[in-house]
Amino acid sequence: MNVVVAAWIALATAYAPRCGDSGLTFYGLPAGPGTISAPRSLPAFTRLWVDGYGPGVVTDRGPAITEGRLDLWMRTCWQANQWGIRRVLVERVVWVPLVEHIEEEGADGLD
């Protein structure tokens, strides 16, 4: 289950392969769906939900990505250009496993 631990408004731009992008992230990973470039205030591999974009993970950095900004990976240059510059709601999410209630009696399976 995903739990929102923080939310804020950011200025989001977009980038795509063959539009000046090398295809690799700052960390040497292949860029693809869900790749987000974010400022260093967000640790690497932070999970985000970006309104209008969906889920993503911080796996990229960029010199123009300062506080309050994100850069989102898009499949094509056309999609990146259509995105333009938007103010978006960003949610930082963490995954929390669901734990079912275990009754005390017989919980160890030895009864």
Task: Write out the chain's pLDDT in tens, 111 residues.
Answer: 778 889 999 999 999 887 766 688 999 999 999 999 999 999 999 999 999 999 999 999 988 899 999 999 999 999 999 999 999 999 999 987 876 655 555 555 554
- Cβ proximity of 31 and 25 under 8 Å: yes
Q: Which residue has the tokens 């399976």?
A: 109
Sorted by sequence, the CB contacts under 8 Å of residue 4 that are 6+ apart come out as 49, 91, 92, 93
Sorted by sequence, the CB contacts under 8 Å of residue 49 that are 6+ apart come out as 2, 4, 55, 56, 90, 91, 93
- Cβ proximity of 46 and 38 under 8 Å: yes
Report the distance separating Cα 26 and Cα 63, nearest Å. 11
Strand partners, 50: 54, 90
Q: Supply the pLDDT for residue 102.
A: 54
Alpha-carbon torsion (90, 94, 95, 100), positive or negative: negative
3-state secondary structure of 25: coil
